[in-house]
Structure 1
Amino acid sequence: MRNLFQKKDVAQLLAQYQKRKHNPSMGAFDLTLMGIGAVIGTGVMVLTGITAAQDAGPAVIFSFILAAVACSLAALCYAEISSALPVYGSAYIYSYTTMGEIVGHLMGWTLLSVYMVTSSAVASGWSSYFNNLLEGFGLSIPKQLLTTPEHGGIMNLPAIMITFVITWILSQGTKESKKFNNAMVIVKILIVALFIIAGSFYVKPENWQPFMPFGAEGVITGAAAVFFAYLGFDAISASAEDVKNPQRNLPIGIIGSLVICTMIYILVCLVMTGMVPYSQLNVPEAMSYVLQVVNQNAVAEIISVGAVIGLMAVIFANTFAATRISFAMSRDGLLPKVFSITGKKSGAPVWNTWITGMLTAFIAGFVDLKNLSDLANMGALLTFLMVSLSVIILRKTEKNLPRGFKVPFVPLLPILSIGFCLFLIANLPMKTWLYFSVWLLAGTAVYFSYSYKHSTLKQ
């Protein structure tokens, strides 16, 4: 019986990278925008206000800084290992190389759940913003077409449609689709900048008093709540084979996007809590709400338009990452070959993109995501943990492997990252553990029924 923990050879992996059939087209700027696009979404629209009201008050800026420090530990690990192994697959390929095939397969399976569920959840949120925007023009979508069957509706039609639109854009190839994504992210940044500039004229310093109404405990509680607002920067590593000079550009994209997103969160929180008392911010659309309070309804409408455009970038980044994970798994024989067939003109995995898009659309349109949202959080935290562990192992097994970036103080910083991830995983609800266990069991069944027999390592 073949060893389930047989590892993928690093030299062969890098040789495979050199033989890739398409020309990379993404630079540091494109990667940074992809990271911002994946991170800045519902977090800045929703979590900023709710966390300020419920947990930290104006000191929510410290909550975001603490969460950023925790995320930066994982980001540093991503920066090192992605520059050393610049291939499709992200944590899947890192685990496969350092811990063996079955571990790598289950990590790839986990990543697929993270990216598809996240895309579905954001598509569902996009549907609400889109309907609100239509209502501003006196139009509306019937409730039955905005609601999943579990809640008495037929389907969430806008969520399905926007998923198919993004899927079609991705199927055109990386070079073409990145232009669209860059445009969406730039619009999103401009909208946030508009909020900061317009809102700053209405800031009243007295609204920042008391600055820390819930004490240090509230700041820490808030940090745990907003940690998930940073998830998404890891999608950058999944695009490695599409990147020009990955040893340089991948670390810049990963770390750069995290720094910029942290600055955006801090500025938005400062303006928001300065415009109205923090106790009034317990609303899902805090950015629009505070502008309406100061009678800037026109700017609030523009912010709503920006939310519709900006959330599309989040769907784009997560769907893109999912297709690259399944492509890598297919290329290694762990998923059917249809997932690694590329188009002659686009160079994109077209069949893969449409299969992933249809699955995501189905989840967004017909499944209630309330009980599944934490599944993505569990998967993301496990991914961060495994990437941090992979950095430690690879430092031991491949000491001379060229790295475009090195994590300082190894193994201390990766161990701190692992510890923080374990702490947050332990505090997730029991039902999340149940859903995740079921998903892993399904992945294990796929491995033994298909992947083990067709793995390229077996050949």
Structure 2
Amino acid sequence: MGGSGKEKKAFGLWSAIFIGIGSMVGAGIFIVIGEAGAIAGNIVWLSFIFGGIAALLSGYSLAKLALRYPSRGGIVEYLVQGYGEGVFSGSASVLFYFAGLVAIAAVAKSFGTYAATFLHAQNTPSIVNAFALGIVGFFLLINLIGATFVAKSENLLVIIKVTILTVFAVAAAWHIDPALLSAKKMPPIMNMLYAIGLTFFAYQGFSVITNTVEDMENPARNMMRAMIGAILIVMALYVLTAVAVLGNLPLPEVIKAKDYTLAEAAKPVFGVLGFKVMAATALLSTASAINASLYATAEISYTMAKEGNLPKVYSYNVFQSNEGLIISSLLIVPMILFFDLSEVTTVAALSVLIVQGLTHIGHLMRLKETGANGVLVFLAAAAMFTITALTLHYTRLHDPAIGYYLLGAFVLCFLVEVSLRIFTKRIVTRQVVDLFNFKRWEDEKKI
């Protein structure tokens, strides 16, 4: 009774699904399709299916955690709830912050590649880096000034890029050369498994749905439905796109144009105009992803890592400090300058896999509180670490430096965490503190 005076929540079922799709169908598919296709060849669509299954398992675990620990701190909150307020959870939260920065660097590098290709500039590292640094600097200024108009355009950008991808995939399906997808051209099945780490990266963004829990209508009913619905829709789009690309481009051409494969794959179907439209769509997608990440992930994660908590004044599109934006942007610069696109993407994918795997292991210790299915949570953790192991094995054979970068990231995050505790006395704390407030929140959401 008493619910008439309650303010309407921002997210219903479909708006939550929509924000999940928008977050996933960002830069990931434009970066990953060529990189993964170069490894898995004409069965890369299977890699996208397995990547999607891993995302579903991970999404299930995160959705259950979000319902039990409703906080905009997201994964950082779940880590602290699982492991306590110690150095381990603090280091993991710092790693999560750095993983977000690496992901932004990967997207910026992709923007630079597509920009150089679209503008017919020389596709040299210096030109790509110049475009990448330029777009990060541009959105840093936009966010410092006030990004209201950019934020309002995000939904329109989502509609545009999803529509163009869907039209491309359906149209390209009619022009597929069956010989390119034949079993004779299949690479070893292990290659398909090695590519799952990259295809999982293309689904990154589904965890954003958990951050809407405090603003969601009837989260007990809508959270899991939104998570599963968004991932299944994106999986269908990715599989169709992968089949369309590898069915229209011979593998040598995929490998040659792996940094802008989607644009190249549009040529046989739509000609030069298709190439330009897809390249422009990639530019829009990568730009919007950079804006969203700088505007939210960098600032929130920075504050959680530095201060140990998320002030109550934080809410979507309302931030009180520019420090996180500036520091985060400066840290992204060396990542852009000294990593190549494939290395940046792989390090970002591995970092996210490890952080999510740790989150699910922590969840196993809180099953009584979340009421989650232990088998599914265990499978989520197993999927994250299995994909990590496969990816590390592949990179050990083809790019051994990746393992050293990852190890360096772990050591750096540990040192940062210890230094912050010693010099600032800060501790990453729980945002959902006591059972009384949780039960009160549960009662409110049932009204």
1:340 aligns with 2:311: yes
Counterpart residue identity of residue 77, structure 2:
I
Alpha-carbon contact 1:27-1:244 (below 8 Å) kept: yes
**1:169 deviation in Å?**
5.7
Counterpart residue identity of residue 266, structure 2:
L
Label 1:370 to 1:35 Cα distance change in 2 as closer, same or farther (>3 A).
farther
Q: Distance in 1 between matches of 2:389 and 2:126?
A: 40
Q: Distance in 2 between matches of 1:50 and 1:453?
A: 39
Aligned to 1:388: 360
Label 1:341 to 1:272 Cα distance change in 2 as closer, same or farther (>3 A).
same
Aligned to 1:448: 422
1:193 aligns with 2:166: yes
**1:385 deviation in Å?**
1.3
Match for residue 362 of structure 1 among 330, 344, 349: 330
What are the ranges of 5 or more consecutive residues in structure 1 without an aligned counterpart? 1-21
Aligned to 2:437: none
**1:425 deviation in Å?**
7.4
Q: Distance in 2 between matches of 1:295 and 1:414?
A: 40
CA deviation profile, 1:323-346 (whole Å, cap 9, x unmatched)? 33445567xx526xxx73748xx8
Alpha-carbon contact 1:115-1:376 (below 8 Å) kept: yes
Match for residue 389 of structure 2 among 411, 414, 423: 423
Alpha-carbon contact 1:37-1:314 (below 8 Å) kept: no
Bigger proportion of residues as helix:
2
**1:322 deviation in Å?**
3.6
Match for residue 433 of structure 1 among 376, 389, 407: 407
Q: How does 1:51-62 map to 2 (within 5 A)?
A: 51-52=36-37, 54-62=38-46
Alpha-carbon contact 1:160-1:361 (below 8 Å) kept: yes
Q: How does 1:85-96 map to 2 (within 5 A)?
A: 85-96=69-80
**1:84 deviation in Å?**
1.7
Aligned to 1:351: 320
CA deviation profile, 1:111-163 (whole Å, cap 9, x unmatched)? 21122221233134224433544x26xxx799999565xxxx79922331034
Q: Distance in 1 between matches of 2:105 and 2:146?
A: 17
Counterpart residue identity of residue 318, structure 1:
S
SS at match of 1:429: helix
Aligned to 2:178: 205
Match for residue 303 of structure 1 among 275, 278, 284: 278
Label 1:407 to 1:323 Cα distance change in 2 as closer, same or farther (>3 A).
farther
**1:388 deviation in Å?**
0.9
Counterpart residue identity of residue 186, structure 2:
P
Label 1:425 to 1:97 Cα distance change in 2 as closer, same or farther (>3 A).
farther
Match for residue 52 of structure 2 among 68, 73, 78: 68
Q: Distance in 2 between matches of 1:154 and 1:231?
A: 24
CA deviation profile, 1:166-190 (whole Å, cap 9, x unmatched)? 56565x4xxx876432222111101
**1:357 deviation in Å?**
2.5
Aligned to 1:324: 300
Q: Distance in 1 between matches of 2:318 and 2:305?
A: 13
SS at match of 2:176: coil
Counterpart residue identity of residue 97, structure 1:
Q
Label 1:227 to 1:98 Cα distance change in 2 as closer, same or farther (>3 A).
closer
Q: Distance in 1 between matches of 2:300 and 2:36?
A: 34
Alpha-carbon contact 1:392-1:414 (below 8 Å) kept: no
**1:233 deviation in Å?**
1.9
Alpha-carbon contact 1:64-1:262 (below 8 Å) kept: yes
Q: How does 1:28-177 map to 2 (within 5 A)?
A: 28-52=13-37, 54-102=38-86, 103-133=88-118, 135=119, 146=127, 156-165=133-142, 172=148
SS at match of 2:288: helix
CA deviation profile, 1:348-381 (whole Å, cap 9, x unmatched)? 44233x3333233334445425177254334312
**1:87 deviation in Å?**
0.9
**1:207 deviation in Å?**
2.4
Q: Distance in 1 between matches of 2:265 and 2:326?
A: 37
What are the ranges of 5 or more consecutive residues in structure 2 without an aligned counterpart? 1-6, 394-401, 432-447
**1:195 deviation in Å?**
1.3
Counterpart residue identity of residue 389, structure 1:
I
CA deviation profile, 1:256-312 (whole Å, cap 9, x unmatched)? 232222111110111112223233211121122123245611122111221111113
Aligned-residue Cα RMSD (Å) equals 3.6
**1:61 deviation in Å?**
1.0
Q: Distance in 1 between matches of 2:224 and 2:146?
A: 26
Label 1:164 to 1:197 Cα distance change in 2 as closer, same or farther (>3 A).
farther
**1:430 deviation in Å?**
2.5
Q: Distance in 1 between matches of 2:261 and 2:384?
A: 33
Match for residue 291 of structure 1 among 230, 254, 266: 266
SS at match of 1:409: helix
**More divergent stretch after superposition (317-326 vs 436-445):** 317-326
**More divergent stretch after superposition (375-384 vs 414-423):** 414-423
SS at match of 1:87: coil
Alpha-carbon contact 2:35-2:198 (below 8 Å) kept: no
SS at match of 2:375: coil
Alpha-carbon contact 1:163-1:315 (below 8 Å) kept: no
Counterpart residue identity of residue 409, structure 1:
V
TM-score (norm 1): 0.76
Counterpart residue identity of residue 260, structure 1:
I
1:228 aligns with 2:201: yes
Aligned to 1:25: 10
